[in-house]
Structure 1
Amino acid sequence: MFFIQSFSIVWLVLFFIVGFLGCRTVTVQHDNKSVSSGETQSLNAKKKAYSYFCTGYYFLLERDWENAVKNFEKALRWDDSSERIIQHLATCYFQLGMNEKAIDYMKKLADIRPDEFSVRYTLATLYETVEKFKEAIKEYEYARRCKTTKLDNIFLADVLYRLANLYINEGAIEKGVDCYQSMFDLNLINEPVKIYYEIGQKYFEKNEIKKAREYFLKAKQADPKLSFTSFYLTLCYDMLKDYDNAIKEATIFLEKEPDNWAMHLALSEIYDKTRNEPKKNEEIRRTQEILKRNTDAGTQNPKEYFLLCQIYKNQRKIDDAISVIENLKTIPLDKETMRDAHFLLANLYYENENFDRTEEELKITLMLDPEFHEANNFLGYLFVENNKNLDMAMQLINKALKADPENGAYLDSLGWAYYKKAQQEGRDECLFTALKILSDAVQRMEEPDIYDHIGEVYYSLGQWDEAVKAWEKARALYNQTLNNKVKIVDIEAKLKKIKELMSAEEKTIRVIKKHNEVENVIQP
């Protein structure tokens, strides 16, 4: 939240144009006294400088910055110590967007008038425009030490405000807070609540939650009507696990803004942590109602559509979730958000086992962003699961792995692709490659699906004991993390089948062994 208007551009123009009006800023001597040849040369130089200066100043008033610069540069060659010419050159270069050149001239002026507040302040703001933040900090620090008048105070407040933000962005938050405190000490601000609120935000962004809470409480004390202090205090108390105070502040906030879905959502998460299921469900219901009302009204905020979709997805209302994202596509979206909408639709259609639509949405996603590695892997895996386009699938998955080579899910996709290729083409070497890649994947990401795939590879290689171990691990993880009954039933069916095969194999081996023993006995 910004509470001080930025005056840097206005000040630059006022300082260089209004503060130094007219050609009278360059003077020449007019008298009848006898002068030496050196004095004559000096007088001629000043006359030429005066002539070019006046021409440049005329172009400046006409806002013809390029011609103004040409004449001021010529004037400066005849009078290289003229502060006024240097000032106007800095102004013109600034207006031309040539901020580095403007800085060069302001540095010259700073050498001439090192303790002038306005010079240091202007130089600092120019450094900010070219993102030379360390140099800007140095100049703002110089400016705050300069002697100022009451007329300068509004700009001194801006100096301290900008300096505070620069320090904070550089990670020196305590120095930033010191600048804010200086504004209090010098009586440069009339509304301390806004300063407290801003400091609280800065500490919150830096994840220094106790400090953030301290300043939000100061802001609340300075102005109890400022509702968003309660919003941030709710988040602070939540992160500090002080749930009673978090609920208290959330309730205060919602009394003033009952339709704020973000707070209802935050409150539902707090109730979840305190294991208050009825209250949690009530807050989710309220969040859902507000979001539904907003999306039905055509809100332009994509976050509201995405969140409502997630709520429906958690409730297993996949058709409703799809409908929300289809509606999202009807509002103006930037390319990245449109990409994310299609990718989310692909996931939703996949859950509905509508694989044709899944493939269609993934292809649209990749048209919008060919380097989107999540979509490359998903489409590749979809091809693998459906036993089609295996070579293309492996290209897509390898492209995803190039972007994220340590991703266990992508390695699982590639290993599974090699398994399917082995099944399709009868190539045993692909099974060994699949096993190597899947073993690498499970080291990075211990997921039941990967163990399931490893079990299939071991089964195909005839290593049934290892297959049983992998599938039992998959079953345990499904029970532990997903509680996916369909997957568990599938795994148990595989285990039952392989154990029956192993049992039959053992019986066969015993029969053969017994037969061989009998044969050995009856032979003479």
Structure 2
Amino acid sequence: MAAPARASRITAAQDSGDKALLAELLKLNQATTDELQKVKLRQLRQDKAKAKALVELAVKILDSENGRKLNYNAIAILGRTAHSLKNHDAAERLYERQLELAQKVKKSAESIIDAYENLIILYFDMKRYDQVIDTCERFLDLKGPEELERVKPFIIERLVQAKAKKGDFDEAMRITRGLLELTNNSWYFLRLKGWVEREAEKYKDAIKTFEQVLDKLDTDEDLKAEIKDREKDRTRYILSALYLDAGDVDSATKQLQILVKKNPDNATYKNDLGYIWADHDRNLDEAEKLIREALELDRKEKEKLKAKGEIDEVRENAAYLDSMGWVLFKKKKYKEALEYLKKAVEDEEEGQHLEIWDHLGDCYMALGMVQEAIAAWEKGLKTEDISKRDGERRRKVSEKLKKAREGQSSSGRKKD
């Protein structure tokens, strides 16, 4: 009788836990404003264990009587929470319910737009580009108030990007030209043209297009100064990456130097400039200084966010830690470099990139720690590519890994 009694107590505890979680879910219905929803999202992102449990229960009961009690507000919060947790299957189901409620209950253009955009962004993150296209086309077929019509060009932009991601560059460019004709070659859709060219690896064409975007922004008299400055900075940042794609390191760093001078408190610009210099064995002392400043700026910004209750811990940026490790590696300070690189890969979200694991492997090899290098490269090869350059890096890491294994085997045979 002991085992059934224990099982009964466990079941009762689970039921009690589910009831408490259900009460938490239903409270989300009361987040009726954007501000309240942001607060709830922030709270859930700070308590990932609870967020995960709430999402799992919501999906489990979604089609039950209790699930039908969750209104548009609760479902929207839970969908975004699932998305941030990278529980894509749950996010898809919740966003689909959000769209259903938007169309049948809320019946407002704003809620319909929000639901469609959530689905489109989710499918992009999942690299399900056919579904991006299908969802965009469904939105474009909608007939409704002026708010829907105003958003359609931006949905077409997403459609273009999905077609380009699928490799249908001719169709993507044809649609983009149509947008440019409709908007008198606006800087916004000219930027989309450059994006498609970059995706097609036509880097020189993309550079020329983004330079035209800068000129257009300069001459746009209707744009507010602060928006113009922000968009020019964004365009220069894209140009720096494009020049790097094209192998023009000098032009890439020139754009970043302009951005650093204009935005001395921007950690991203300082990190990127420092990293590119380090990666190409240039200005290593200045590169180290910039990256240290980036780490400090990032820390101060996160301390402010923690004080406001927007984040629950101050965690160093994995990309900046990688940059710091890499510049120290380039300066042959391998032991110091190792500590930064190890900290970078400890970040289970932002540190899981092939590039970071590759740097860690190189550092281990420089210290004669062959087995650790092999393990680092093996872990790196299990990560997903995040840029087109990762394909070439994957090939090089595979070669290094093969060579290290062969060297290890050869060493073992010599000992025998």
Contact 2:353 2:385 survives alignment (8 Å): no
Which range moves more in the overlay, 433-442 or 484-493? 484-493
Displacement of 1:499: 2.8
Displacement of 1:323: 1.6
User: Given the superposition, is the C-alpha separation of residues 437 and 348 from structure 1 closer, same or farther in structure 2, using an over 3 Å criterion?
Assistant: same
Residue from 324, 331, 348 that aligns with 1:414: 324
Residue from 279, 293, 297 that aligns with 1:385: 279
Other-structure match for 2:153: 261
Contact 1:384 1:420 survives alignment (8 Å): yes
Contact 2:163 2:172 survives alignment (8 Å): no
Alignment of 1:242-253 (within 5 A): 247-253=137-143
Displacement of 1:215: 6.6
Amino acid at match of 2:395: V
Aligned partners of 1:407 and 1:378: how far apart in 2? 13
User: Given the superposition, is the C-alpha separation of residues 232 and 287 from structure 1 closer, same or farther in structure 2, using an over 3 Å criterion?
Assistant: farther
Q: Does 1:403 align with 2:306?
A: no
Displacement of 1:475: 2.6
Determine helix, strand or coil for the equivalent of 1:381: helix
Aligned partners of 1:413 and 1:403: how far apart in 2? 15
Aligned partners of 1:260 and 1:440: how far apart in 2? 44
Q: Does 1:508 align with 2:402?
A: no
Other-structure match for 1:517: none
Contact 2:352 2:380 survives alignment (8 Å): no
Displacement of 1:360: 0.9
Displacement of 1:395: 0.9
Residue from 438, 441, 460 that aligns with 2:341: 438
Contact 1:412 1:450 survives alignment (8 Å): yes
Deviation track 1:318-373 (CA, whole Å, cap 9, x = no partner) reads 22221221001112442222222111100110111110111111111112212221
User: Given the superposition, is the C-alpha separation of residues 251 and 234 from structure 1 closer, same or farther in structure 2, using an over 3 Å criterion?
Assistant: farther
Determine helix, strand or coil for the equivalent of 1:330: helix
Contact 2:99 2:115 survives alignment (8 Å): yes
Amino acid at match of 1:415: G
Other-structure match for 2:231: 337
Q: Does 1:467 align with 2:359?
A: no
- State the aligned residue count: 290
Amino acid at match of 1:418: L
Contact 1:411 1:440 survives alignment (8 Å): yes
User: Given the superposition, is the C-alpha separation of residues 413 and 258 from structure 1 closer, same or farther in structure 2, using an over 3 Å criterion?
Assistant: closer
User: Given the superposition, is the C-alpha separation of residues 258 and 393 from structure 1 closer, same or farther in structure 2, using an over 3 Å criterion?
Assistant: closer
Alignment of 1:9-408 (within 5 A): 168=33, 171=36, 212-214=102-104, 217=107, 229=109, 233=112, 236=115, 239=118, 247-253=137-143, 260-267=152-159, 284-293=172-181, 297-299=184-186, 302-333=187-218, 334-405=228-299, 406-408=316-318
- Of structures 1 and 2, the one with the larger relative CO (CA 8 A, separation 6+) is 2
Displacement of 1:464: 0.8
Other-structure match for 1:494: 400
Displacement of 1:234: 5.9
Q: Does 1:452 align with 2:358?
A: yes
Contact 1:438 1:454 survives alignment (8 Å): yes
Displacement of 1:214: 4.4
Displacement of 1:285: 4.5
Contact 1:455 1:466 survives alignment (8 Å): yes
Structure index of larger Rg: 1
Question: Root-mean-square deviation (CA), in Å?
Answer: 4.2
Deviation track 1:110-150 (CA, whole Å, cap 9, x = no partner) reads xxxxxxxxxxxxxxxxxxxxxxxxxxxxxxxxxxxxxxxxx
The TM-score with structure 2 as length reference comes to 0.58
Structure 1: any 5+ residue segments left out of the alignment? Answer: 1-166, 173-201, 220-228, 423-429, 511-524
Determine helix, strand or coil for the equivalent of 1:360: helix
Aligned partners of 1:252 and 1:395: how far apart in 2? 53
